[in-house]
């Protein structure tokens, strides 16, 4: 497989990645500010926030296939009964 050089990939993607990282930082800042009023997070929100933190740790790792591992982190486990569980006809 003919891969493009890292400097080209980074040059083409840098501004988009920068914008996405800033967006994530802004969301985390808003969540943190909302926690200052001592309102406890409900369990679902807490799980979601923890998943975001786990995903960031995955992004910072140097292991391969980060995109796949992040996708799996946010995915439901397969269930053969998914149609009935999700009420899909």
pLDDT of residue 13: 95
Residues 6+ apart with CB under 8 A from 35: 41
* Per-residue pLDDT reduced to its tens digit, 25-44: 999 999 888 877 667 777 88
CA-closest candidate to residue 57, choices 69, 45, 43, 48: 69
* Per-residue pLDDT reduced to its tens digit, 51-80: 999 999 999 999 999 999 999 999 988 899
pLDDT of residue 53: 95
Residues 6+ apart with CB under 8 A from 70: 55, 58, 59
pLDDT of residue 73: 96
């Amino acid at each position: 497989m003919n891969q493009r050089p890292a400097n080209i990939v980074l040059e083409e993607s840098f501004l988009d990645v920068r914008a996405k990282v800033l967006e994530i930082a802004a969301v985390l800042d808003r969540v943190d500010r909302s926690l200052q009023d001592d309102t406890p997070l409900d369990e679902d929100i807490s799980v979601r926030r923890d998943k975001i933190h786990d995903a960031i740790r995955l992004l910072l790792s140097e292991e391969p296939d980060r995109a796949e591992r992040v996708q799996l982190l946010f995915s439901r486990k397969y269930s053969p009964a998914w149609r009935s569980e999700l009420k899909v006809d």
